[in-house]
Homo-oligomer: A and B are copies of this chain.
Amino acid sequence: MSGTEQAPTSARTRRRGDDLVRAIHAAVLAEVIEVGVGGLTMEGIAKRAATAKTSLYRRWASPRELLLDALHEAHPEEVPSLSADDLRGDLINALRQLVSWMVTPAATAVMAIMNERHRYPDLVDALYEQVFGARGGTVTSVVLRHYADQGKLDPDLLTPVVRDIGEALVFKRALDTGVLPDDETLVAIVDQAVLPAVGIPPEPGR
């Protein structure tokens, strides 16, 4: 694998470097899902990525730093529509992004970490600060802030509770049913829970 670890002096080498990073990111996620946070070692990750331990230490100081980097990379970023004219559509899309993320190894890895939170509280803190927070807080936050900045929503209504409604209901539904919420459910969450909380009255049947 040493060919992929040269300094990035050409496009071809850079691409190889990116491939290696992707392989290592995939390896750390698979590893934490299989062996848990406590079982995570540079050796195990390197072996799974079919590379040398030294190539990991060149980029990351510890398995934990590598894990957080992989989760950060995999985390969805909300992109409000450029027109800023479709709050409802943008909120539904934000929840769709969340649901798409929930089927990835990154989401399974996050669950594995959360299940061990009492053993690794510092890691969970770092996860919220460096991954969830760094990506704009809870899903729907970026969209809501965007429309508030445009003067289309009262910014004082965007409390931590309100920013959390969409995500909370998606997680709850997944927990209750054991399957990911379908599009109809996402639309209902936006129409019946998120929009009323930001001042758009609910309508029966919507």
Contact = CB atoms under 8 A, between A and B. Distances in A.
Interface stretch (A8-16, A25-33, A82-90, A173-181): A173-181
Contact of A185 (B117, B161, B173, B192): B161
A195 to B, nearest CB: 9
A169 B169 CA distance: 7
Given A161-B185, A165-B169, A175-B114, A197 B192 contact: yes
Interface stretch (A34-42, A54-62, A198-206): A198-206
A100 interface: no
Interface string A75-102: 0000000000000000000000000000
Complex copy number for this chain? 2
A156 B205 contact: yes
B189 A161 contact: yes
Contact of A162 (B124, B159, B185, B193): B193
Contacts of A205: 156
The 3 closest A-B pairs by CB, nearest first: A156-B204, A168-B172, A168-B168
Interface string A123-160: 01000100000000000000000000000001011011
